[in-house]
């Protein structure tokens, strides 16, 4: 019985997620791990009634959106964008102005070659 797939978007070198993936696989969960900063991510999505349909993946793996039951977004690498686009803001798909790349107004003022600040809850 397919219980669905856990989609994980994180940096390639995230060792904490390595442990999470190991535990999910030990429990026979289906896992797809992608890093938007490691290369192009392909997304073909459409809303069909109340369900998302389509695919998300990279050149090595993909998952159907209607199979995704959970998403872990944990500090994925910044996407490089297409190299033929000269304007850095356009290449990264980031608007300049209020709201910034991560929705934090303070990020709007930072240079484009610096990653957004990462907030982590106190432990």
Smallest CA-to-CA distance from 118 within 105, 97, 104, 108 is with 104
Report the phi/psi class of residue 8: left, alpha or beta, with left for phi > 0 and alpha for psi in -120 to 50. Answer: beta
pLDDT by 10s per residue, the chain, length 123? 568 999 999 988 899 999 999 999 999 999 999 998 888 888 999 999 988 999 999 989 999 999 999 999 988 777 766 677 777 666 655 554 444 444 455 555 555 555 555 555 555
Considering Cα of 107, then 105, then 47, then 89, what sign does the dihedral take?
negative
pTM: 0.66
Q: How many CB atoms sit inside 10 A of residue 6's CB?
A: 20
Token pair listed for 48: 């069909």
């Amino acid at each position: 019985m397919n219980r669905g797939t856990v989609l994980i978007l994180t940096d390639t070198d995230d060792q904490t997620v390595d442990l999470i993936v190991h535990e999910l696989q030990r429990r026979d969960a289906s896992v797809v791990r992608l890093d938007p900063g490691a290369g192009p991510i392909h997304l073909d999505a459409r809303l069909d009634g109340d369900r998302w349909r389509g695919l998300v993946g990279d050149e090595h793996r993909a998952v159907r959106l209607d199979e995704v039951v959970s998403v872990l977004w944990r500090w994925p690498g910044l996407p490089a964008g297409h190299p033929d686009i000269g304007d850095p803001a356009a290449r990264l798909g980031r608007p300049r102005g209020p709201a910034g790349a991560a929705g934090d107004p303070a990020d709007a003022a930072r240079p484009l070659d610096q990653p957004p600040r990462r907030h982590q809850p106190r432990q």
